[in-house]
Each structure stands twice: as C-alpha cells, then as structure tokens.
Structure 1
Amino acid sequence: MAPLKKPPAAAAEEEEERAERCAVEEVALVVPETDDPTAPVMTFRAWTLGLGSCVLLIFLNTFFTYRTQPLTISGILAQILVLPAGRFMAAVLPDREVRILGGRLGSFNLNPGPFNVKEHVIITIFANCGVSYGGGDAYSIGAITVMKAYYKQTLSFACALLIVLTTQILGYGWAGMLRRYLVDPAEMWWPSNLAQVSLFRSGANGHELARECRALHEKEDGEKSRGPSRMRFFLIVFFASFAYYALPGYLLPILTFFSWACWVWPHSITAQQVGSGYHGLGLGAFTLDWAGISAYHGSPLVAPWASIANTGAGFVMFIYVIVPLCYWRFNTFDARTFPIFSNQLFTGTGQKYDTTKVLTKDFDLNVAAYESYGKLYLSPLFAISIGSGFLRFTSTIVHVLLFHGAYVFHLYRVCCNLVITWSHRSMDCWCVLLGSDMWKQSRSAMNAAKQDVHAKLMQRYKQVPQWWFLVLLLGSVAVSLLMCFVWKEEVQLPWWGMLFAFRARLHRHAPHRRHPGHHQPGMTPQLTRHICHPRNCLNLSSDLALFF
C-alpha cells in the first residue's frame, strides 16, 4: 500500500520547520528548540552565586597559573556545584520583596520561585568569565609579575588594577562590536560549549540522542532503575577523581610526566633529548595526570575529532620532523651547541646568557654592552616555535580563503560594484541612496540572513545595545591613554605606543609582537606592556563570543 501524501500546506510547513532548524547537526541534537520567556533570570540568587563563583574562579585560576604545569578549573565545576546551592537558596529564602532605597532604585524578590535553568545558565556565564579573567587569558597579570619580580619595578595597586581591567574590557568591547559576525550567524558554533549546554537540558525534544543526554535539570524517572542515580554517579566520580589526584599531585609526582626512555638510559644525552617530556621531544613519554592532559588546550573530550586530528598532525610534523631536521641534520643556527628544548637564553658557547650585563639600570638595552658580550641564542625548538607564531596570521587568511573563499569573493565583488557605482554619483545621490528603501531592505536582509530557530527565539528579548560595547571599547582606550600620563614612570609607555597597540589589533595578531620591537627597540618593559593590549583583545573577544 502506497504511503499517503501529505497535504501541500503540511508539507510546506514541515519544510519551513526543517529550514529553521540549525544546520549544524551537533547543535540541533543538544541545544533545545523551545523557550519559556516568563522564567526569571536576573534574580538575587543568580547575582549572588554568579558573582561568588566568578570571584572564586578568578582567584583559583590566577593562583594556579604560576605552576610549571598550569591547572585550570573550568566553569563546568561551578556549573555543577551551584545547582544544589541554588536549590538550597530557593528552599530557605523567604518570598519577600526588597526595596532599594525605599524603592527609588527599584526592588527585587529574594525568592521568585524554584531555581530554574535560566538562572543556572547566567550563573555559569559568570563563572566562565572567572575562568577567562583568572586563567592564561589575563596576560597582563603575567606582565605585572615580570615587572615586579624580574625588573624590580614598583607598581601601585591602582595602576596594576587598571592595566588588568583595561586589557580585559578592551577585548569584550570588540567582541560586542563584532557580535553580528561572531555570534549571530548559525555557522558560528563553539563545540566546547556543547558539553555545558548538555548539562542544562530540561527534557528530551524527540531525538534519541537527546533522550539519552539526561542532565542536571531533568527529573529522575519515577521507576527504580538498575544503576545509580545521576547525582549518586556524579558524587562517586567526584570523590574518586579527588582521591586519585592525590597520587600525581602529592604522593607520586612522577605520574605527571613519565618517560621510560630516560629511565632505561639515564646517562644517555640522546635518550634525554628524545624521550624527556620536560627538556626533550617527549617521544614515548606519557602522563597519568588529567591536569597535564588538559593544561594547555582544554579537555580533549569536548573537542571535535577534526580539531584533535589537525592539532595532532601539526604537533607530529613540528616536533618529530621539523625540529629533528633542524637540530641533527642541518644544525640550524648552531643548534647542537644548545639543549634541544629550553626556554633559557644562551651565549654562542652554550652557556646561560646573563641579561643583566646588557641592560641599563632602567632595563633598556645597552647596545655597546650587548655587542661586547655577544649575541644571544635560543634553543632550536623554542626558536622555531616562536617563529611559527608569526605564521599564524598568514595561515588564518589562507584557511579562510580555502574554506570560505567563494563567499569572500562574492562579498568582494559586491563591494567593488558598489564602490564603482557610488564613485560616479554626486553627494546628492549619496543622500538619496542612504535614505532609500533599497538601503533599508539591504540592511534588513543582512540582519535576517541565515537565522536558525535559536536566533529567532532570542529575538523575543531585548538585545544589549551596541553603544554599550562601544563605551567599553572607547572607555578602556581612554583610561589606558590616561595611565600613560598619570603613571608615566610606572607604565613607561608613551601615548602613541598605546595607540599603536590598539591599531595593531585591528589588522593582525602574531605581528603585534614584532612591530613594537621596531618602534621601541631595546625598551623591554615597554615591549612587555605593549603586547598585553593586542593579545588580550583577541583572546577576550573570542571568550565573549563563546559565552554568547
């Protein structure tokens, strides 16, 4: 018997629903396509737990960045721990209205109802900001540490605080300005977010995979299951991982990095160069410490296989092909005179470079002393890794052209046609064009292009005004320039150098380390602070785009 054909109206409606769904399969299976706009979000519970988790993660992650092997406490831990705290506050807080200054500044309810998933999400966003500010992305904290510990410079608390805040807020300002391109398009999805989103699931949406992804806000089945409950399973894993970390963390630190080659041939220099995980290529070395596995690139469990394979292929090509060829085959830059991997500076004879002999009392380069003492050298692996960093800018452009070249070329042709058309028009024609319906229709078409169901759900809510981000951006620039005059002796960076750092962020990433060295040669403290603003601008803009 032939299947019944659907009516044209039903078929058209089904086709429209399919078109609205997210084109990315992973997102469509994990992120729900429903929303409750009546659920409270910015509650007293959300602000209290959100700010508390943010401050706590900032402190802990900043503290652990000074380890030889950084330890990052992710926002997932806070996401799990705030759930019982939020439910506890919902159970004990009174349902009472609190007026601020007698109601002149508004009011809020201490307990507007049960702890809901939207409160949980906003608290997790707070916590993720704590990870970003407290982790390695707060590059200016490292610069301040270097200024105090290495350059022996005094830096007031107010100046240090403003340096950190301006460098961080600058990136968030740029992220907000570029939100239309980094967040709104359906193609801009962040795989690392799916692990957190799956924990927020409040119910299945009809997909088999979604039914299996039981999460924190999904109620337990009434029937008794054969296995442990989700909360019991979490507690078992939590205490087991806590107990296990005592082995690599305190009792058996050798489990952090274990190299069997160094144990078998303890006196062989070649074995140390090839097998050591600290000072060599790490061939055959392994770790039983999860903090070591996820220290620099995050958890491999949430990254797509393509990203892991791409990173692994690049690692193998760099560590096991390029570096050995430069070291043993070609002896590039007298590489065999130095250790194969070290972050130290060396003289031409392989001795450690004493930088105090080539610096002035202000820690600027003494050219005469440098020429007398001799050039400095880097270990081959360290030198090649720094050099490869300058290739990132070009490789990013090549990647975009290879994977999105057709779209970029289409936009380029459109822009060229517009420029050619407008160049033959007078100023009156410009005014007519800007006020015409064609201009308005083109803007509305751009805003409505490729909007999936999630983007349409977000249209119910009022967006953060664009000028808020512009105020953050311009405010951080203004305060940074003000510091160049108020704390001139501490900052030691001229106002034009600060402006150059901001301009560099508009065009490039890797070259920002090279250009200030040309404009301010030999001025090492200024170069350190110069790098903070462009670097943080990219990192923090990416972080905020991820949080959106």
Structure 2
Amino acid sequence: MRKNYDPVPQWWFYTLLMVVVGLSLLACEGFGKQLQLPFWGILLAMLLALSFTLPVAVITATTNQQPGLNVITELIIGYMYPGKPLANVAFKTYGTISMSQAITFLSDFKLGHYMKIPPKSMFIVQLAGTLVASSVYFGTSWWLITSVEHICDPSKLPEGSPWTCPGDDVFYNASIIWGVVGPLRMFGPLGLYSKMNYLFLIGILAPVPVWVFSRLFPEQMWICLINMPIIIGGAGGMPPAKAVNYICWGAVGIFFNFFVYRRFKGWWARHNYILSAGLDAGVAFMAILCYFTLQVRDINGMRWWGLDLDDHCPLASCPTAPGIEVEGCPVFT
C-alpha cells in the first residue's frame, strides 16, 4: 500500500494546525474577549491535549473506553483562573475535545488503512466532513434554540417534552462548579467536599487488589477480566445518564456479550457489531422521524414509565446536607 499511495505531506498537518490555532486565538482574544480565556490558556490546553493523546489512545485501542480530560482541565483552569465560567468551559473544550478528535482522527485513518483508501483522500474527506458537520451542528442548534419555545427549561416545557437538554445542563453546572465557585471553594480547604480528593488516591490504588488476587489465585481466570479503570470510568456518563440508563445498557450488554456469545458464537462474530451499529443508526433516524412527524406538532407521546426522564425515585433529588428542609424530603441531622 505504501508503494501505491503517497503519504499525507507533513506540511498539510502543520498548516492545518497553525490555521486552527490562529482561529482559536482570534476567538478568545477577539470579539471583546467574551470567552474570558487568555492566549496562554489556549496554549496550555493544546499542551495538555498533546501530552494525553498517546496514553489515552493506547487505552482506547486496548479497552474501547476513552477516558476524558474534562475533570482534569476543569480542575487546572479552575485553580489557575477562578471566577471565569466561560474561560473554564472554553479551556475544557480546547483541552478535552482536541484530544478526543485527535484519537477519532487516528481511528478513522486506521480504518482507512485497512480498507486501502488513499491517505490523502482520507485526509481531505475528514477535513471536509468536519467542516460540513460543524456547520450543520451549529445551524441545527441555532434553529432549535429559536424555534423550540422554552428549550432546556424543564419547568416551563410541556410534560413529556424531550427538549430538557440534560447534557447541556451538566455542561452549564460544571461551569458554575469549576468556574464561578472554583475548585478551591468546592474541593479545597475552603470547601465542604475536600475529602472527595481521596478518590484520586482510591482510583490509583483500585487496580492493585485485582492484581494481587490474580497472583494469589492464578487458576481463577475470571479475576484477570476485572478492569477497574473501565468499571470506574464507566460511571463517567452519570450525569446526564441515570441509573435506568445503566440498567438498560447492562441488560443488553450482558445478553449479547455473555449469553449470545456463549450459545451462538458464530452469530455473535458475524452480526453483533453490525447490530450495534444498526441500533445506533436506528435511534438517530427515529429521533429525526419523530421530531418532524410528531414533536414539531407538540405531540410528545403517551405518558408511561419508560418515557419519564428520571430514576423513578422521588428522594433522589433530596438534599443530604444536615438541617436543610425541602418539601417532601427527609431532614438529616
């Protein structure tokens, strides 16, 4: 393949890098500095993305789980530049999404290599796809914001409306926690949650017991299958995902990757990944179809257990701090 196709020239990458960095600096330093992030924040975010791309790519390639840098970036800029929520969000985006997109870019190139697609064609298609996708995303978001009344405001939306924006709500809350309040007043000596910093130590030491037991009981092969980083990282989707989402994911995953894998291994090897892609594509197509046929006419479906976007636990939203009284919630002392 190397003899048949010319590689992508390095100056293509360098040129694209300089253009993107220049646009990023313009976005942060220009427009009245509305993003609040100074130029050194862009450079630091780039350095973080560059430093973590290789190790995170190795983890992604071996476990199919991609750890994010969102908490790390929020923590760093929260300490260095407190009281700036937009700067916190911008720094997190440049640090986290840059690394994530780099890994996706490499993954696509690897797939193209297997399919014997010319590298230059892959580069051009990915660049064109990025421009088209970002434009469509921006246009769609702008259209929804201007066309859906009370979007992202569950208190004013009709019952059963899907426009509650749980992911955006988490993004906004993170900007308040890490940007406005700051980690020093949340998880530092001035905050109430300083003991949560011990979870960093727990995360580092969590794989050690598994390794010890695998050495003590080498005949128990299932111990080696326990991967604590994947187990801990799996909870990274919560929020916005809720317990009911994890139950559904777990049920489907166990059924196909345990029962079907053991009983019908040939079917699993031939169709399982196709089924996974089909389910993802089906959800996307049905979301578009439901919106243009039903939701655009304020028809949000019938009221039933599976439509409720909660854990079906009224006490889950109750405060746990002592002395706080909320109607319908117990008071802790």
TM-score when normalising by structure 2:
0.55
User: Is the CA contact 1:55–1:130 (under 8 Å) kept in the aligned structure 2?
Assistant: no
Cα offset for 1:53? 1.2
5 Å-filtered alignment, 1:293-332, equals 293=231, 295=233, 298-327=236-265
Partner of 1:123: 91
- Distance in 2 between the 1:403 and 1:294 partners? 35
Partner of 2:166: 191
The question of 1:65 aligning with 2:57 is answered yes
5 Å-filtered alignment, 1:105-144, equals 116-135=84-103, 138=104, 140-144=105-109
Which one of the candidate residues 255, 278, 290 is aligned to 1:390? 278
User: Is the CA contact 2:85–2:175 (under 8 Å) kept in the aligned structure 1?
Assistant: yes
1:232/1:132 CA distance change after superposition, 3 Å: same
Cα offset for 1:292? 0.8
- Distance in 1 between the 2:39 and 2:90 partners? 9
1:248/1:71 CA distance change after superposition, 3 Å: farther
**Cα deviation code 1:4-58 (max 9, x no counterpart):** xxxxxxxxxxxxxxxxxxxxxxxxxxxxxxxxxxx95245x43431343145225
1:384/1:81 CA distance change after superposition, 3 Å: same
Cα offset for 1:309? 2.9
Cα offset for 1:197? 2.4
5 Å-filtered alignment, 1:380-529, equals 380-388=267-275, 389-398=277-286, 406-407=294-295
Cα offset for 1:402? 7.1
Which one of the candidate residues 131, 154, 172 is aligned to 1:169? 131
Q: Which has the higher contact order (CA 8 A, sep 6+)?
A: 1
Aligned residues: 248
- Distance in 1 between the 2:291 and 2:263 partners? 31
Q: 3-state DSSP class of the match of 2:81?
A: helix
Partner of 1:247: 205
Q: 3-state DSSP class of the match of 1:230?
A: coil
Cα offset for 1:320? 4.4
1:326/1:161 CA distance change after superposition, 3 Å: closer
Residue type of the partner of 2:190? S
- Distance in 2 between the 1:400 and 1:310 partners? 22
Q: 3-state DSSP class of the match of 1:217?
A: helix
Query: Which consecutive residues of structure 2, in runs of 5 or more, have no partner in the other structure?
Result: 1-31, 152-161, 300-333
1:253/1:48 CA distance change after superposition, 3 Å: farther
Partner of 2:44: 52
1:231/1:119 CA distance change after superposition, 3 Å: farther
Percent identity of paired positions between Structure 1 and Structure 2: 10
1:194/1:84 CA distance change after superposition, 3 Å: same
Residue type of the partner of 1:247? L
Which protein is richer in helix relative to its size?
2
5 Å-filtered alignment, 1:67-86, equals 67=59, 68-69=62-63, 70-86=65-81
**Cα deviation code 1:402-437 (max 9, x no counterpart):** 7985336789xxxxxxxxxxxxxxxxxxxxxxxxxx
Partner of 1:292: 230
- Distance in 2 between the 1:264 and 1:53 partners? 43
TM-score when normalising by structure 1:
0.36
1:178/1:300 CA distance change after superposition, 3 Å: same
Residue type of the partner of 2:132? L
**Cα deviation code 1:452-486 (max 9, x no counterpart):** xxxxxxxxxxxxxxxxxxxxxxxxxxxxxxxxxxx
1:399/1:57 CA distance change after superposition, 3 Å: same
User: Is the CA contact 2:46–2:94 (under 8 Å) kept in the aligned structure 1?
Assistant: yes
Cα offset for 1:61? 3.4
The higher radius of gyration belongs to: 1
Residue type of the partner of 2:40? T
User: Is the CA contact 2:68–2:96 (under 8 Å) kept in the aligned structure 1?
Assistant: no
Residue type of the partner of 1:218? V
Partner of 2:34: 41
Cα offset for 1:175? 0.9
Residue type of the partner of 2:295? Y
Partner of 1:229: 190
- Distance in 1 between the 2:117 and 2:286 partners? 42
Residue type of the partner of 2:137? A
Cα offset for 1:252? 6.0
Query: Which consecutive residues of structure 1, in runs of 5 or more, have no partner in the other structure?
Result: 1-38, 88-114, 202-213, 267-271, 279-285, 328-334, 336-379, 412-548
- Distance in 2 between the 1:40 and 1:154 partners? 41
- Distance in 2 between the 1:277 and 1:183 partners? 48
Cα offset for 1:244? 3.7
Q: Alpha carbon RMSD of aligned pairs, Å? A: 4.7
1:407/1:119 CA distance change after superposition, 3 Å: closer
- Distance in 1 between the 2:141 and 2:51 partners? 28
User: Is the CA contact 2:78–2:178 (under 8 Å) kept in the aligned structure 1?
Assistant: no
Residue type of the partner of 1:198? N
